[in-house]
Structure 1
Amino acid sequence: MMHGYGGFGGFGFMGIFSMVIWLVILIVIIYFLFMFIRDFGSKNSITKTGKNHALNILKERYARGEITKEEYLSMKNDLEN
C-alpha cells in the first residue's frame, strides 16, 4: 500500500519535481547575480584599453582621409573626456 507522494518514503514523483523546481530557481538566481556583477563592473569603469582602441580607430580614419582634422580633434576631445 502506497501513501503520501507515491511511496519511497515520500520521495516519489512530487519529491523529484520539487527538487527540480528548486534547482531551476537556484540556477536562475545565480545566473542573474553573475550578470549583475559582470555588468556592474563594466559600466562603472571604462578601461584604458577601451579608450585606446577607440582612439586608434579614430587615428586610422583620419589617416585614411575619412574625416577632417577638425572632426578628428573634436572626436578625440569627446573620447578623452
Structure 2
Amino acid sequence: MIIKYVYNKVLMGLLAIWSLNNFMLSPAFAQSGGYRNWHMGRWMMGDWGMGWFGMIFMLLFWVLVIVGIVFLIRWLVQNTGSRGSSGVGTGSQAMDILKERYAKGEITHDEFESMKKEILR
C-alpha cells in the first residue's frame, strides 16, 4: 500500500516536471522557420546563446576539473605510497646494524652513542 502511494507521488511529480518543461519550451517550438537554416535554432551559440564567452568558460571549467584530478592523485600517491619507503625504515635498519656491531664488540660504547646520535638526527 505504501509502495503504491510512493509510486503515485513519484509518477505525479515526473508528470508535473514534464508538463512544466513543455510549457516553458513552447515559445521555442512555436517559432516559424526564421532560423536561417540553423539546425538547432537560436539556442545553440546563436543570438541567444553564450557564443565565444560560453566556449571559453567551458574550456576553463574542464581545465580546472582536470587539474584538480591531477592534484588529488598526486596528493593521494604522496600520502599513501611513500609511508613505507620513508627515512624511518632506513634509520631503523641502520640502528639494527649499529646494535649488532655493538653487540659483537666491533665498536665501543662511546662510538655507539655518537653513531646513534648521527642516525637519529
TM bucket by the smaller chain?
0.3 to 0.5
Identify which of structures 1 and 2 has the higher relative contact order when contacts are C-alpha pairs closer than 8 Å and 6+ apart: 1
Larger radius of gyration: 2
TM-score normalised per structure 2: 0.35
TM-score (norm 1): 0.47
